[in-house]
Structure 1
């Protein structure tokens, strides 16, 4: 995202999601992705990432793993979110599988499953960090958005 603006809030309406996609950026890193009914009053619309999200929502297989997301959470939760970014478009994993894929987590440990669920629920950038690809875990996106993202990818 080196050509992206350094900071700001950007939003575009998505007919597919029936709401806006809003992205917060600081220091040229994504801080947040949200799906409000109405965007922030001062939100800009010109952001290359929003162009990519538009293409994705129109059915183009997309990989956002190159997008620099500010991961300002505990290290173990960051590891979970970095791992979920590796789940390819159109594929899904379970909470247990994601725990097993995440370095230093035991797929069979209930504590690891809870950590995965917490990380997914607190994901600052749903869609870009595709928590909707975890079939039995929570998503930080609102349920209607999560369902549409899953449907879009055939999950």
Structure 2
């Protein structure tokens, strides 16, 4: 992932462009969570290379975060949806139907599969790194104001 890849813990930094903090949970060199609290955890540290990259990203530096390892601890079908979301390139958006079609084993014409996609997006444990803001008409694991800022950053 980065030179901080062996570090574990909670890391948070205030991001004025988002008007809140970005908080990372990291274990065994993998990001396990991304959240956007107004106040970070008391024991959160602010020094992490990934936070440097996220700060540059929200200020307009293009970064797809493709090299960041995200531990998706969700049921297999939902994990498959979020793995497909990670493949949507920076600056590109798709709709829920298209995402359903793109996800192996799902059928965009099946209402249950579209519902599964929406549920996976809503439960996304690492928004921004799993860029659900690139899905136009789906829910996000990020707060609505953060989602809109991320869409604006990427020109969506």
TM-score by length of 2: 0.96
- Kindly state the Cα deviation for residue 6 of structure 1 after the two structures are TM-superposed: 2.9
Structure 2, unaligned stretches of length 5 or more? Answer: none
Structure 1 range deviating more: 31-40 or 3-12: 3-12
RMSD: 0.9
1:52 is paired with a residue whose SS is: helix
- Kindly state the Cα deviation for residue 148 of structure 1 after the two structures are TM-superposed: 0.7
- 1:49 alignment counterpart: 50
Q: Which runs of 4+ in 1 moved over 2 A?
A: none
Distance 1:130 1:82 in 2: 10
- 2:142 alignment counterpart: 141
1:24 is paired with a residue whose SS is: strand
- 2:83 alignment counterpart: 82
TM-score by length of 1: 0.97
- 1:15 alignment counterpart: 16
Structure 1, unaligned stretches of length 5 or more? Answer: none
Q: 1:47 to 1:73 in 2, by over 3 A?
A: same
- Kindly state the Cα deviation for residue 45 of structure 1 after the two structures are TM-superposed: 1.0
For 1:1-155, list aligned pairs within 5 A: 1=1, 3-4=3-4, 5-155=6-156
